[in-house]
Amino acid sequence: MHHLRDRGHSHSVPSEITSRAAYEGRRDWLKLVAGGAAGTALASWASRDALAQTARPGKLAPLPGARSPVSGAATMERLTPYQDASTYNNFYEFGTDKDDPAKTAQRLKTRPWTVAVEGEVRKPGTFDIEALLKLAPMEERIYRMRCVEGWSMVIPWVGWSLAELIRRVEPTGNAKFVQFVTLADPAQMPGLRSSVLKWPYVEALRMDEAMHPLTLLTFGMYGEILPNQNGAPVRLVVPWKYGFKSGKSLVAIRFLEKQPKTSWELAGPEEYGFYSNVNPTVDHPRWSQATERRIGEDGLFAKKRATLMFNGYEAQVGQLYAGMDLRRFF
Ligand SMILES: Nc1nc2c(c(=O)[nH]1)N[C@H]1C(S)=C(S)[C@@H](COP(=O)(O)O)O[C@H]1N2
Ligand SMILES: [Mo]
């Protein structure tokens, strides 16, 4: 995909970041950066108390969020470095290699942008991104993310619970599922020429999963707006499910009576189920899901981590699946 790389909008170079930090008088931040690799680790730790000051990478527009009580278990873990979170991505519309999206998503136009809310709701409508940004107070949620491929990250997302939007559009009694439709524009997305998935990339949740406070409509990360490769300008984040359930660059949210097929179910029904809850005891047909590699700590001697039931969110979401055979409904 080399011919598709955007040469005009390369990432900030370190000197730009430093000058921006200096401009904003972030002395502590600079001190940490001066510490090099150790500084980066320190910055991640320090973020527990002063994320906006210490972890903001200074690449994109700020999007602060109040620390949320809903974060859960991952809050005490070391954040994945922004550099990793923004260059090791799955976003097949921009190519299937992990480093493709960071290169080719620069061409994505995130304004103007609207999200259509359709189907079984009393108040359907089209929401402009600027209105969505103001719809509810932004919160910062530090979530553990687990990709079905066996790697994980800890990312400070910025957004608000999807339930805020759902309540406002007033679902009817027929609304049993919520489908998430993401952008499919061949002019902007070179990956659409591949038939690896059926486009647009669609995902869905059961209504109670969509209403769960952990389910985050996400506009930013690390105190800034989302980089394009992470799903700008708005994506979903569902931290107890495998990463592919968290659709990027959403253009429509549909309330449905029947359970819809998802892009990954259509691509491999034996491998990717509708629920796709993180579960170390149910293996993928081609690999174990018992352990994971934490991105950013994958040196030669780094130990694999044990994958946690519901990705560590069992206390919050376990009751959604009470009585369900999780082997059958994988
Ligand atoms: N539209 C769209 N959304 C997507 C994907 C994709 O290919 N297209 N990949 C998914 C997968 S497999 C993962 S693991 C996460 C990765 O999110 P991140 O790059 O922000 O870590 O995005 C998910 N959302
Ligand atoms: Mo993934």
pLDDT number for residue 265: 98
Q: What is the pLDDT of residue 13?
A: 32
Determine, yes or no, domain membership for 327: no
Q: Give me the amino acid identity at 280.
A: P
pLDDT for position 55: 66
> What's the confidence (pLDDT) of residue 45?
42
Residue nearest to atom 8 of ligand 1 (CA): 91
* 246 C-alpha to ligand 1 centroid (Å): 6
In a domain? residue 329: no
Distance of alpha carbon 255 from alpha carbon 205, whole angstroms: 10
Is position 8 within any domain?
no
Q: How far is the CA of 27 from the centre of ligand 1 (A)?
A: 35
Question: Domain range for residue 293?
Answer: 14-321
- The CATH number linked to 26 is 3.90.420.10
- pLDDT at residue 69, as a whole number: 77
Q: What is the pLDDT of residue 44?
A: 45
Residue 1: inside a domain:
no
Whether residue 4 lies inside any domain: the answer is no
- Considering the domain boundaries, does residue 50 fall inside one? yes
Q: Is 39 exposed, middle or buried (0-12, 13-18, 19+ CB in 10 A)?
A: middle
Would you state the pLDDT for residue 124? 98
Domains in the chain: how many in total?
A: 1
Q: Can you spell out the DSSP letters for 249-268?
A: SEEEEEEESSPPPPHHHHH-
- Closest atom of ligand 1 to 230 CA is 20
Which residues fall within 8 angstroms of residue 328, CB to CB, at 6 or more apart?
A: none
If one counts every other C-beta atom within 10 angstroms of the C-beta of residue 280, the result is: 17
The atom number, within ligand 1, closest to the CA of 249 reads: 1
The residue whose two tokens read 């491999």 is 268
Note the ligand closest to the C-alpha atom of 295: 1
- Note the pLDDT of residue 9: 35
63 CA to middle of ligand 1, Å? 21
Average pLDDT per 10 consecutive residues for the chain, totaling 330 residues: 34 34 34 36 43 71 91 82 97 98 98 98 98 97 97 97 98 98 98 97 98 98 98 99 98 99 98 98 98 89 93 97 98
In a domain, 2, yes or no: no
